[in-house]
Amino acid sequence: MTIDEEKQQLRATIRRLSAQLPFRYREAADRAIARHLLALPEYRSAGAVFCFVSAGREIDTRPILDQTLADGKMLCVPLCVADGIMELRAIRNLEELFPGAYGILEPPADSPALSPDQIDLAVIPCVTCSREGRRLGRGGGYYDRFLAHYRGAAVLLCRERLLRQEIPFGVHDYPIPWVLTEAGLFEDGTPSRLE
């Protein structure tokens, strides 16, 4: 089996598991993840935050997006501009977002673009990941292309019940050293104390 086939198989498995997660668990886990993220020193010191806009069964990022704006930080969200390519666009209000590619809320095409080196903290989604930060995305390559050019702090969000030890990993995949779950922060696979 190729790495791509392994990834597709794991995505299907995680989609089934995710669909079976009780609503109360998802809600409690998402609240805890947001609380942990907003307590990170890297978040508190960040001037500009890049964060995905959640869709479907993804971790609810609305509390993170709302608080980032309330804290007066520059908030950037993805705008899909071509297959596998996204741009970082600044928004001032969540009301600016509208359904774009794949039905995911996106900023308007005329919103200000930022480069990866202008971002202090990137909040990255996944279908699943390991505690060591090996992530499995949806397969479009959007975030791997972003991570290839990004050198700032990055944190991967995943619910505990969707973590996996073994993640198929290819040459174009980028590990993320910080993984945040409802249980807390893991740095290179080791539990890290949240302040």
Q: How confident is the model at residue 193 (pLDDT cuts 50, 70, 90)?
A: low
Phi then psi for 55, rounded to 5 degrees? -145, 150
Is residue 32 within 8 Å of residue 58, measured between CB atoms? Answer: no
Average pLDDT over residues 20-48: 97
In three-state secondary structure terms, 111 is coil
State the DSSP H helix or E strand holding residue 50, giving kind and residue range, or none if neither: strand 48-51
Whole-angstrom distance, CA of residue 2 vs CA of residue 130:
19
Predicted pLDDT of residue 62: 97
Six-digit token pair at 143?
């975030």
Closest by CA position to 55, among listed 75, 33, 81, 77: 77
Q: How confident is the model at residue 188 (pLDDT cuts 50, 70, 90)?
A: confident
Average pLDDT over residues 150-166: 95
Predicted pLDDT of residue 32: 97
Six-digit token pair at 158?
């995943």
* Residue type at position 40: L
- Residue 120: exposure state from Cβ atoms within 10 A (0-12, 13-18, ≥19): middle
Predicted pLDDT of residue 103: 81
pLDDT beyond 90 at 94: yes
Six-digit token pair at 151?
């050198």
Six-digit token pair at 28?
């409690």
Q: How confident is the model at residue 82 (pLDDT cuts 50, 70, 90)?
A: confident
DSSP letters, 142-180, are HHHHHHTT--SEEEEE--GGG--S-----TT----SEEE
Q: How confident is the model at residue 23 (pLDDT cuts 50, 70, 90)?
A: very high
Computed over every residue of the chain, the mean pLDDT equals: 92
